[in-house]
Structure 1
């Protein structure tokens, strides 16, 4: 769900004349709002027979524009942001899919309900505010009544055009439930991967090692030269088995993180890429180990995608911790067009970060640049307590 916060033009409450201008503007928007309601209902009805899709593709953006204007006026009147929280439409979604995303978005239905109230009760409040201003005999009523009338209108708009505290908590619970399910699935898949890696790699080599040593033991008395060859082969197999085990351990928690922290780990990743990568990190401590590992693997996936798909000449990584949020920005000057919904790796990063209430956002227009932002709320430990600062 995407939150768009409309900025306030001023920190001061609008004066009476400004509030009256809002009321006049709302009266002017009454006709387009009524038209949007009629065509939205008509388009939704005809969409059952696929005839209203084109109508909805026109009227839903119109309704959102009208709602946005009223959100801005409500935000100015009440002095608080009024966010428009729409579900994002993935890039490349076809027209019917776009309409389906709109239809499943609760804010679409809230705006339709708002429009119905706006052209009735909302119209009445705005009309009273304007009439009190234009009639000379009601000047005193306008002076004292314009502010409470317009605040009532603004609260009415906010009631429908923004989620309340209870709804936000319910949505938060739903998001956490979904992310927990993804994390459980991801953990099960990781366990299966580790089991497969151990079975196909280290275990197979250790079995071969045992057989080589057994044959060498039998050959020591009768064929010492063959026994020495078998022991030499067993030594090589042991080295390979240790390499397999190190690879498995590195996939769980890279040793470079424990030794050098997130900054050093990302710098090591950058050195492995076949293009220059600029790493800039400003951390006054270390995040918790699980968060550090999650962000490291997320950055690793982003850099791997740069090397494989971006066609870039230069990439960069910026790591910051501010206001309780650990943020990593991975960018490149490649061809752009990255879509996290089409790759299992990026979906895995999202799920990994979601376990820590983190998020990933992608900006990748055609032609570039691609900028991926990873954010995880967390605190940092004191540099004096980090493993890298301990004496040898």
Structure 2
């Protein structure tokens, strides 16, 4: 069922784009008429406002569909430049949407004519002609329809996303800095909470037991109090070691990012295929951010995906460190609704990194994390 649903997505998307493209023609005509009536007052302005609401709804639908195909979110432009972009996309979509479906129909019609002509020349039966036609249609559908579906999504992304500007870059850096400050504050609160509930409470227990020893005279009571203090001190050491590992795991310091991710993959309850191509080590803060992002992603896979296998790919090219975590589970991961994914994005944004989520309902899912960085120290051997 999942495979059938996955195969039907490109044809359904192509058909929907053709329908919305055909509907764009009368909508564009109405927008033009109302815009021409605006200088004369009357109903021109309110009608134009209502039509632009419909246009905006269509563009939001297209952004959502394109984001699902491409696997990353497409942000909306600012209100000032949004209307012009929406109308420009609508004009292009009115041509491209139906044209893509018509091109597929033309390919299928041409294939049918060629098959009939060749089989007629060879004197083949009608059954064989139909069989060859079906095979030809399937090949064309598997090749042309997904390609046109993806090209439409990329065209929508190109036309509907906001143009990069200095103001948007400043806003992005401001958001990254705020995310870094929030992540640091959350980490400090976690450390404080762990110290208060763990090591600090046990050390207080040690002090209380030792205070009772000072006033005790019964040797058995003294022995019990000292034993209890010894056990509490040992547990406090365990809590402190766990706390330190949560800040910077020893395996990350010893074996680098590659070895740490492989160790985290071994702890995952489902089989994880690891493919790492990392010629050297990035800086320690970058290693830590990507390690915890990968560990969080694997934890989400184990808890929520119902997957039977997962994979982790890590590589560096063009000055970008790229980490992909995927699974064959049920999909449906949502970057907006998922707190775990939002936490990963905040962690990466502190280093100007990005998180792209491709998780259609029914799966498979892939999280792609990209973080610009340079590799510095020599390669560290790993498992």
Q: Deviation at 1:360?
A: 0.4
| Aligned partner (choices 332, 342, 349) of residue 327 of structure 2 | 332
| Aligned partner (choices 308, 312, 333) of residue 307 of structure 2 | 312
The corresponding residue for 1:363 is 358
Aligned equivalents of 2:378 and 2:170: distance in 1?
34
TM-score of the pair, normalised by structure 2 = 0.64
Distance 1:242 1:161, change over 3 A: closer
Q: Deviation at 1:287?
A: 0.6
Q: Deviation at 1:268?
A: 1.5
Count of aligned residue pairs for this structure pair? 280
The corresponding residue for 1:178 is 175
Distance 1:326 1:115, change over 3 A: closer
| Aligned partner (choices 87, 107, 110) of residue 84 of structure 2 | 110
Superposed CA offset, 1:179-216 (max 9, x none): 21122122122212211111111111000011112222
Aligned equivalents of 1:184 and 1:339: distance in 2?
24
| Aligned partner (choices 329, 347, 356) of residue 352 of structure 1 | 347
TM-score of the pair, normalised by structure 1 = 0.62
The corresponding residue for 2:189 is 192
Question: Does residue 1:210 correspond to 2:204, yes or no?
Answer: no
Aligned equivalents of 2:218 and 2:206: distance in 1?
19
Q: Deviation at 1:40?
A: 8.9
- What 5-or-longer segments of structure 1 have no aligned partner? 1-30, 65-85, 92-100, 119-159
Which SS does the other structure have where 2:280 is aligned?
coil
Q: Deviation at 1:35?
A: 2.4
- What 5-or-longer segments of structure 2 have no aligned partner? 1-24, 36-42, 69-74, 93-158
Aligned equivalents of 2:214 and 2:207: distance in 1?
11
Greater alpha carbon shift after TM alignment, 301-310 vs 52-61: 52-61
Question: Which structure's relative contact order is higher, taking Cα pairs within 8 Å and 6+ residues apart?
Answer: 2
Which SS does the other structure have where 1:340 is aligned?
coil
Q: Deviation at 1:168?
A: 2.1
User: 2:326–2:365: 8 Å Cα contact kept in structure 1?
Assistant: yes
Aligned equivalents of 1:163 and 1:284: distance in 2?
36
The corresponding residue for 1:74 is none
Question: Does residue 1:303 correspond to 2:298, yes or no?
Answer: yes
User: 1:44–1:56: 8 Å Cα contact kept in structure 2?
Assistant: no
Q: Deviation at 1:53?
A: 8.0
Aligned equivalents of 2:32 and 2:48: distance in 1?
14
Q: Deviation at 1:293?
A: 0.4
Which SS does the other structure have where 1:338 is aligned?
coil
The corresponding residue for 2:130 is none
| Aligned partner (choices 241, 244, 252) of residue 247 of structure 2 | 252
Aligned equivalents of 1:258 and 1:114: distance in 2?
52
User: 1:212–1:231: 8 Å Cα contact kept in structure 2?
Assistant: yes
| Aligned partner (choices 27, 38, 44) of residue 32 of structure 2 | 38
Distance 1:361 1:355, change over 3 A: same
Distance 1:217 1:187, change over 3 A: same
Distance 1:53 1:37, change over 3 A: closer
Aligned equivalents of 1:161 and 1:342: distance in 2?
23
User: 1:212–1:234: 8 Å Cα contact kept in structure 2?
Assistant: yes
Distance 1:275 1:59, change over 3 A: closer
Superposed CA offset, 1:237-291 (max 9, x none): 1111111112221221112100111111111111221111111111111010000
The corresponding residue for 1:55 is 54
Distance 1:313 1:52, change over 3 A: same
Q: Over aligned residues, Cα RMSD in angstroms?
A: 3.7
Q: Deviation at 1:36?
A: 7.0
Aligned equivalents of 1:226 and 1:367: distance in 2?
63
Which SS does the other structure have where 1:361 is aligned?
strand
